[in-house]
Amino acid sequence: MDFSVKAIPSSLMDETSTSQTVSISVDCDALVHYLPMFAPRNTKVGEDLFTYSVFCKLLLEIFRKLHIKATFFCIAEQLRQPHVLEVFQRIVADGHQIGNHTLSHPDISILSEKEHLSNISEGHHLIHELLHIEPVGYRAPAYYITTKGLFELTRLGYSYDTSVYYSPLSRILFRCLSMVKKNIKVKPQGSLHKRFHGNGPYLISFNNGNKLLEWPIPHALGLVYNGTFHSSAPTSLFLLQTKVLKLFQNHIHYQLHPMEIITQECVQTHPWLKNIPFAHRTDLAFWLEKRLKQLIRNHTLTTLENLSASNLHLLQ
């Protein structure tokens, strides 16, 4: 089963017709999900006391301060831990959206099709069971998307995917870094990204009539525009990329991870985290708040859920 891809002209976008908008999302990857990329083989995490109870709660404080409502992409099986469920209940109570980041955050490139689709659907149903919310948005682990994966989202009633990461220069830079630091590994992403060359959004139409919006991870000046990159990059590059996006995009989406405000206590507890390029920084929470203030200035805050619902209605 194939699909067609059509860029949506800004003139057809609902909320962006009268103002420029910004949305924020958080991929709630735990420490264990960084092991394949940054840790020596056979490294164990043990109990993760930081990702949810420290980093996610700190993110919530920053969002409250800046009046941001974000989308938190949840790895569903993490909700089986009482302290994680408590944090996500607080996230929901604060008015944030919940997206699906699969059941277990697997390496999709080595799964069978059945295992891949099951990880999406089981993640969806577990989120609904434990949080009483049905996600309508999805982001793939390591941005690995397939045609059947996207079709599965339409079967589940999703309105959008936000897994496309088309930034060849960023991938080249990361591969170069992995050659210098042997403990850093680059995950494959699949081949579909080449069909999405710009910053979107895009309407994905399957031949059975099912539709899905795609909101790519933005890029500017040839480089990815997200929290992981900006946690390591110079302030001047973030400001320049932001200026470019604000000049040419009606909507900017900004992707974050809890790890991007990692603390030195966490690094001392798990020394392998020193392989993460920004792990030495002590000002990460301050730097994130500064970036968010700059990003949302003179823009209307929204969510991908709201934008997708309104735009799919217009495109009917």
Q: Is the pLDDT of residue 15 over 60?
A: no
Mean pLDDT of all residues in 192-204: 91
pLDDT category, 303, cuts 50, 70, 90? very high
Quote the number of domains for the chain: 1
Q: Is the pLDDT of residue 105 over 50?
A: yes
Q: Is the pLDDT of residue 299 over 90?
A: yes
Domain span including residue 192: 3-314
Are β-strands 97-100 and 223-224 bridged in parallel, bridged antiparallel, or unpaired? unpaired
Higher pLDDT, 2 or 34: 34
User: CA nearest 310: which of 8, 1, 12, 14?
Assistant: 14
Residue 174 pLDDT: 64
C-alpha gyration radius of the chain: 18
pLDDT category, 315, cuts 50, 70, 90? confident
Higher pLDDT, 234 or 10: 234
Q: Is the pLDDT of residue 18 over 70?
A: no
Percent of the chain, pLDDT > 70? 92
Mean pLDDT of all residues in 157-170: 89
Rounded to an integer, what distance in angstroms lies between the CA atom of residue 135 and that of residue 127? 8
Q: Can you give the CATH number for the domain in which 271 is found?
A: 3.20.20.370
Q: Is the pLDDT of residue 176 over 80?
A: no
Residue 16 pLDDT: 44
Residue 156 pLDDT: 98
- Sole residue written with tokens 């990361």: 174
Residue 293 pLDDT: 98
Mean pLDDT of all residues in 155-184: 79
Mean pLDDT of all residues in 35-51: 90
Question: Is the four-CA dihedral 78, 80, 83, 87 of positive or negative sign?
Answer: positive
Rounded to an integer, what distance in angstroms lies between the CA atom of residue 235 and that of residue 240? 9
Mean pLDDT of all residues in 182-211: 85
**Whole-number mean pLDDT of the chain?**
92
pLDDT tens-digit map of 304-313: 999 999 888 7
Q: Is the pLDDT of residue 172 over 80?
A: no
CA 99 to chain centre: 9
pTM of the predicted model as reported, rounded to 2 decimal places: 0.94
Q: Is the pLDDT of residue 7 over 80?
A: yes
Mean pLDDT of all residues in 68-78: 98
pLDDT category, 13, cuts 50, 70, 90? low
Say what angle helices 57-66 and 82-93 make with each other, to 10 degrees.
10
